[in-house]
Chains A and B, each alone.
Chain A
Amino acid sequence: MLAGASRSRAVLASLAVIVGLGACGPQPPDAAALLKQSSQHMLAVKGFHFQMQITGYTGTGEPVQSAQGDAHPPDLHARVNLKEGSILLEVEVVFAAEKVYLKSFTGGWQQLTEAQLAAFFDARTLFDPQAGLFAAMRDTTSPVRGNSEKIADHDTYPVEGQVSAARVHQLLTLIRDQGTYRATYWVESPGSNLWRARLTGNLFDASKAATITFDFSNHDHPVSVTPPPLG
């Protein structure tokens, strides 16, 4: 058995080794640099898989509950779950070669006009280089980096900041455009893959909170979206 004094020495020595090793390791980049690098990286990848989930108060005017699919912006193929009363209905959307296609509850694929699309859910803007989520990362103010977290078995740093509502409104036009919303991004380091992004605030109602969560995977896996056969 160790004597009291020698045990304390052993603990101190261990601590010193841990601290020393820690000091020798690579320092994580600061929050703003993480966001900037990740934003550039995600806009440059050859494709990724995404899953979007909306929770909290969404009101009656917002029919989208979730969406998932593969994207190589601006092209993407997604399945979108829409709320109709208390039941869910799934539609499929394809954005390919600057045209938009919809496969609704019944029937085959139909091509939508821009006017029709405006009344629907324009998923193109989600990952648009100017108006989309990755662009919003650059415009996030007061970013603060948190402690390392595992997301989908990858080491990430959560970075939390504020995004103006007007900026988020560009992303999804159903979102209110007044005030600011809280945004959190989980960025892998080393590497700049974005694994998760979360927007929180009174997104669809002035007094009721809602959250939109994006989960990403298959980063840089080539995604090629082709127009579906009509009819």
Chain B
Amino acid sequence: MITPFRSLRRRSANRSVLLALTGAGLFLASLDAYVVVTVLFNSSDPRASILTSLSIPANHFERATPIITGFLLGYLAAMPLAGGLSDRFGRLRVFALSMVLFAFGSLLTATAPNLGQLVTGRFLQGAGGGALVPAVLALAADLYPAGGRSPVLGAVSALQEVGSVLGPLWGGFIAGLLGWTWIFWINIPFAALLLWGLWPEIRAGGEPRREGQVDGLGVILATAGLAFLTLALYAAAPDRSPVGEGFFWQLPLAILFFAAFVWHERRSSHPLINIRHFRDSSFTGSALTNAIAGAGLMVSLVYIPVLANAVFSMNARDAALLLFRLMLGIPIGALVGGWLAQRLRSYRLVAALGLVLAGIGFVMLSGWNEGSLNPHLLGLPIRVADAELFLTGFGLGIEIAPVSAALLDAVGEAERGAGASFLIIMRLVGMLVGFSLVAGFGLWEFDRATVHLLPPLVGLNPTTATQWAIYTLKVKAAIFDEYHLIFRATAIALFVGALLAAATLRPLPRPRWR
């Protein structure tokens, strides 16, 4: 939990500069959260394809899964630790250490000759980026008095959200211009510049310190549980199993770690999250709904660009622009969702509406085929596909405000900081688990669909070209099968989330301040 230091008061010009510099660091790191999704695979430009650079064959996409899960795991491991560490060692010191970790992770990623180094680099990037979030939020809380803190905290959170939404676009454009490694090279001078700007403040060490409560054991148990769960769900050989080969021993081990985490948290004097809150159905419901929405977002973030590259043969920039249609819907939906929840005085209705809309969007996406990017909507200059993507993002945006508010209401005023961190953590857990699950089952479905589909052998007879064309069509059909399954499964999860939200979220509290 993050506790603001009341004694830290700086001159207003100074604090604006501090907030601007640390906010810029947070934005830089959040850009990299999902930056790889548009540069994983590219059939037209090898410079913009991580898979080609690392000699990972395109027909073994499962080997790319840890590039995505590695970052999320690093983020989840570091985020709960950093709040307490910044209490103990100072916000700016933790910020500086996180930036160094993020820059070092970027260096490892940019220079990776193999998958092992790349995943390590992404894990460290995630750890640095994850640690920045509570450090910067806590710094903002220190710098501004309780009465005027909310807009600043809101702006910092928004910076992080906007950064992560723009990341795939940023990645697509940089990779298209200079190659994918530049996405990560660029971080290093920027991080150095920010640290240089903050150096006088860091060196002055004027920040008050106190005995920060770092629940190290809680973080270790939760991270170990998540790591084993991720391993259990990682389908390294999807032709044999839709989950990991060690599923039957890794899953029980993950459950054991989670049980130990719960046991420890109940006894800890400074728990990461107050376990008693789970008795409140509104808290549990909003936490689970948030995780399901996170899974939906992750599926769209990863699979729209990969689909664009693999089937529609788009380059990195065009794939990023296709995804942008969906991403654009999220902030617009978020604004509408907040307004609607206030207007209708109902979290459950608006959250369920958002999840149903997103689910309908995924149902529409699950009907896509090779010609789906062509038809225009009622003669308008936008395509049906654009509208479907926007609707999906819009729905995912609508649920953010009511679900977040329901959880924060459930934890109460005193634990709002911990509640906000828990919201981010649950969203990331949903992203990690949801993505791991659909990735494995999707590839398993592809292998099942192509188990008897043998490619013609090159140059053996005059009909090879025709046979090859038929084979390519059948492979594309199997890829669509895979995507249809992934999108349908996501739609079902979102509909379940809608039911959960409708059944559990409490109405808005009466405004007592009026």
A contact set with B: CB distance below 8 Å: 65-66, 81, 85-90, 104-108, 110, 112, 115-116, 119-120, 231
Contact = CB atoms under 8 A, between A and B. Distances in A.
A111 B45 CA distance: 34
Given A86-B52, A116-B457, A120-B457, A106 B45 contact: no
Interface stretch (B82-90, B113-121, B446-454): B446-454
Contacts of B49: 86-87
B55 A65 contact: yes
Query: Which 4 pairs of residues, A with B, have the shortest CB-CB distance?
Result: A90-B57, A106-B450, A107-B454, A86-B46
A106 B56 CA distance: 16
Q: For the complex, would chain B's binding face be called helix, strand, loop or mixed by DSSP majority?
A: loop
A108 B55 CA distance: 23
Contacts of A104: 454-455
B179 to A, nearest CB: 13
Nearest to B239: A108
Contacts of A81: 55, 57
Contacts of B451: 107-108
Nearest to B446: A106
Contacts of A112: 457
B460 interface: yes
A106 B460 contact: no
Given A116-B460, A119-B459, A119-B460, A89 B453 contact: no
Contacts of B41: 87
Q: Which of B51, B450, B452, B455 has the most CB of A within 10 A?
A: B455
Given A105-B475, A119-B460, A110 B454 contact: yes
23 contacts: A65-B55, A81-B55, A81-B57, A85-B44, A86-B42, A87-B41, A87-B43, A87-B51, A87-B58, A88-B51, A88-B57, A88-B58, A89-B59, A90-B59, A104-B455, A106-B59, A106-B455, A106-B475, A107-B453, A108-B452, A110-B454, A116-B460, A231-B452
Contacts of B457: 112, 116, 119-120
A11 B459 CA distance: 70
A65 B53 CA distance: 12
Interface of B: 41-46, 49, 51-52, 55-60, 450-455, 457-460, 475, 478
A107 B452 contact: yes
A207 B459 CA distance: 26
Given A89-B58, A106-B478, A119-B459, 14 more contacts: A86-B44, A86-B49, A87-B43, A90-B60, A104-B454, A104-B455, A105-B475, A106-B450, A107-B450, A107-B451, A108-B454, A110-B454, A116-B460, A120-B457
Contacts of B52: 86-88
Contacts of A119: 457-460
Contacts of B59: 89-90, 105-106
Contacts of A105: 59, 455, 475
B459 to A, nearest CB: 5
A86 B47 CA distance: 9
Contacts of B45: 86
Contacts of A110: 454
A63 B56 CA distance: 15
A86 B43 contact: yes
Contacts of B454: 104, 106-108, 110
Contacts of A108: 451-452, 454
Contacts of B56: 88
Nearest to A80: B57
A120 B464 CA distance: 14
A88 B55 contact: yes
Nearest to A105: B59
A20 to B, nearest CB: 43
Contacts of A88: 51-52, 55-58
A29 to B, nearest CB: 34
A66 B114 CA distance: 14
A103 B455 CA distance: 10
Contacts of A85: 43-44
Nearest to A87: B58
Contacts of A65: 55
A66 B57 CA distance: 11
A43 B264 CA distance: 60
Nearest to B56: A88
A118 to B, nearest CB: 9
A115 B478 CA distance: 30
Nearest to A119: B459
A119 B459 CA distance: 7
Contacts of A106: 59, 450, 453-455, 475, 478
A231 B452 CA distance: 7
Nearest to B57: A90
A221 to B, nearest CB: 23
A65 to B, nearest CB: 7
A1 B60 CA distance: 67
Contacts of A107: 450-455
A87 B472 CA distance: 15
A70 B218 CA distance: 44
Nearest to B471: A106
Nearest to A118: B460
Nearest to A106: B450
A169 to B, nearest CB: 19
Contacts of A231: 452
Contacts of B51: 87-88
A178 B453 CA distance: 40
B56 to A, nearest CB: 7
Q: Which of B41, B57, B458, B475 has the most CB of A within 10 A?
A: B57
Contacts of B459: 119
A80 to B, nearest CB: 10
A86 B46 CA distance: 6
Contacts of B475: 105-106
Contacts of A86: 42-46, 49, 52
Contacts of A66: 55
A169 B455 CA distance: 28
A54 to B, nearest CB: 11
A46 to B, nearest CB: 28
Nearest to B310: A87
Contact of B460 (A87, A89, A90, A115): A115
